[in-house]
Every structure is written in structure tokens, then in C-alpha cells.
Amino acid sequence: MPLYNVTLKKDSPPEELERAKQDVQKKGGAIKHEYSLIKGFTAEFPEDHVGTLESDEHIHVEQDGEAKTQ
């Protein structure tokens, strides 16, 4: 399963992040890491279900990948 970074959008209530975690688990995903400095988490999530998270107005979803510098 692909790995996704899920963060709470600015001015969104914190309970929306908890709801997103529950949605990930209900749809067969797994929380891999929870962040303490930012409001978010990393999760393995089925690619065919990621649209449900992306359509949430309170949540930002980005597929995890390798970061490179020049």
C-alpha cells in the first residue's frame, strides 16, 4: 500500500484529524507515524480509497516520497 502524509488544514478543528485517522483505519489503512510538531500523521492507505481523504475540506493529503536537494 502507498504511504500518505495527512495533515490538518489551517483553521480546521482538531477533531477532524481524529476523524481522518478513524476513516483510514475503517478503510483498511494503518497509521504509521503521528507527528507532534504538526497536526498530522503518516498512513499506509489503499490507493483506490485515497479520494475519500482528498475530498475532505479539512484535510491535506500528499503521497509520501523521497525528497531531493540540488
Q: Where are the domains of the chain?
A: 3-63
In whole angstroms, what is the distance from residue 52 CA to residue 46 CA?
Answer: 11
Instruction: Read off the pLDDT band of 67 (50, 70, 90).
Output: low
Instruction: Read off the pLDDT band of 53 (50, 70, 90).
Output: confident
In whole angstroms, what is the distance from residue 1 CA to residue 8 CA?
Answer: 22
Please give the DSSP secondary-structure letter assigned to residue 37.
S
Instruction: Read off the pLDDT band of 64 (50, 70, 90).
Output: confident
Pick the CATH number of 3-63 from 3.40.50.300, 3.90.226.10, 2.60.40.10, 3.30.70.80: 3.30.70.80
